[in-house]
Amino acid sequence: MLIAALIAGLACSAEARTDIARVFATQPGEIRYHKAPKPLTLRSDRIAVRSAHDVQGEPETVPGWHIVNAASSVRGDFYSPVYVDDLGGDTFATSAILVGVDAALTSQEALAIVHRIAPLATVIRQYEFIPGVFLMESGGRDGAEVMTLANLLADQPDVQFAEPDMVFSGRGALIPNDPNFPSCWGLRNTGQSGGLVGFDMNAVRAWDVQLGSASVLTLIIDTGVEQTHPDINQITGRDFTGTPALNGGPGNACDNHGTAVAGCVSERINNAIGATGVAPGTRSVSARCFVSLTNCSGGWNATYSWTADALNWAQSIGVRVTNNSNIYGGTSAAMDSAYAATRTAGMIHFAAAGNSGAGNIAYPSSLATVNAVAALDRTGVRSSFSQFGPGLDFSAPGREITTTDRTGAAGYGNGDYASVNGTSFASPYAAGVAALVFSHYPGLTGAQVQTAMQKSARDMGAVGYDTGHGWGMVQAFGALDAACPADFNLDGAIDFFDYLDFVAAFSSGAGTADFNADTAIDFFDYLDFVAAFSSGCNP
């Protein structure tokens, strides 16, 4: 029996070496982003192995996968070439592919198109809220073949895009700070610690109007949010990484980032603990889409489909706002489609611009359907680490931010709160402002909320929009005021009381009667108010 086992082991080793050699010989060296070739740099010293057995090598945080030395003969049921992703990490193809076709096609019709190239493909899911997009099991025998099949599919005229469901790296846009409301300069800047008095989001004045509605949900796309944190207003989340029992909570000791991000949006107010988020009456909902590297470097691994899955789910539960405080090492047409479809359906999206200080913004904040947010210091300038450039939409406080941490010894420190830096925290502050506006005016679309935020932002840099600061620093009260100009008394309804209040202000010469903001109170203000009153909420 010992000899038989030895012979079987040698046969398996030889088979593994043959499979690995075939992968390297047939790897195409590129994938398609939409229909354009995207060249990839091969890591010839390693290979990705999917195996149900224990494997000696670097365990990937994506369940079942390992990175091993290419010269090894590790037994596995699927091998994939490893490439360098956009952040310098590892990326490789799984056996699944993401395919986009005409939204009018049924799953059977889409599968028939795919079968012309990949006859063994099967449908895993058709996304209900991302029209025409499918996740399919490709039937490819290894990652090289899956990449080739996806490339051939992408070249078909009736296919909008096709790509392997790649594993890729990423990281949160966070810079931890050493270790509560008085320290929250972004909400109320009194000049604490040398800050510029009044350089804040004017949140306190906004709270006199609206603390946030529990019906407004902000999706936190991240490494998980502690579900039992006593100071985060949230509903039960969801895990998209293959561990549903987590319900959107952290899965390992390094999954800390999401809890800090969520606090910026919906940390509770007036409960005698901690600080507060910018929209404390609204609720966050966690979508755990990334698995942190266990060295706690801030990096993580994920697949393309996890983000698409999260956005599709968000639409199904009525999410109005999403936040993604992360930088992706890969770009995906399926993720682009998910952001675009949910934006068209009325959602508004925010993402961190990035922390490298470069004059370009990171993906996915670089998408036209996502609002990119840069970080600001308490002194009134853009943070030195913050990325900026074409496509930047807004700026928000992002240095020395006090927010929630995982409770007890878990998290960034030993307490339940942390002081942190990064565009990771500027982005959820902006998202929270959008959540406040939706709370007060639930009938608005995401596009209308974005317009209100643009009109009300505190201008910085060059007059008007500029690539250094976007539209400027987000303003909580200003966005509420701009979202529905005819609601003159900001009570959430347009009625005769608004007309009476405007006439009273106009008659007394109050500054609020300068409705068209031309610095003069005259009959044109009256005409503009009447026009707005007649048309309703339309910022």
| Predicted local distance difference test score (pLDDT) of residue 52 | 64
pLDDT digit string (tens) for the chain, length 539 residues: 444 443 444 345 667 778 889 999 999 999 999 999 999 999 999 999 998 666 665 556 788 898 999 888 788 899 999 999 999 999 999 999 999 999 888 888 989 999 999 999 999 999 999 999 999 999 999 999 999 999 999 999 999 999 999 999 999 975 545 447 788 989 988 888 888 999 999 999 999 999 999 999 999 999 999 999 999 999 999 999 999 999 999 999 999 999 999 999 999 998 988 889 999 999 999 999 999 999 999 999 999 999 999 999 999 999 999 999 999 999 999 999 999 999 999 999 999 999 999 999 999 999 999 999 999 999 999 999 999 999 999 999 999 999 999 999 899 988 899 999 999 999 999 999 999 999 999 999 999 999 999 999 999 999 999 999 999 999 999 999 999 888 988 888 888 899 888 998 998 898 888 888 888 999 898 888 898 888 777 66
Q: Which CATH superfamily is domain 173-483 in?
A: Peptidase S8/S53 domain (3.40.50.200)
* Bridging pattern class, strands 133-137 and 283-288: unpaired
- Determine whether 24 is exposed, middle or buried from the number of CB atoms within 10 Å of its CB (0-12, 13-18, 19+): middle
| Predicted local distance difference test score (pLDDT) of residue 415 | 85
DSSP structure class, residue 405: -
Among 222, 239, 255, 498, which one carries the catalytic annotation? 222
Annotated catalytic, 95?
Answer: no
| Predicted local distance difference test score (pLDDT) of residue 535 | 79
d(C-alpha 42, C-alpha 51), whole Å = 22
Annotated catalytic, 424?
Answer: yes
Among 66, 257, 440, 469, which one carries the catalytic annotation? 257
| Predicted local distance difference test score (pLDDT) of residue 178 | 40
> Which tokens is 380 given?
């009134």
Among 169, 337, 424, 456, which one carries the catalytic annotation? 424
Annotated catalytic, 239?
Answer: no
> Domain locations in the chain?
2-167, 173-483, 496-535
φ and ψ of 209, to 5 deg: -100, -45
| Predicted local distance difference test score (pLDDT) of residue 532 | 86
| Predicted local distance difference test score (pLDDT) of residue 312 | 99
d(C-alpha 508, C-alpha 531), whole Å = 21
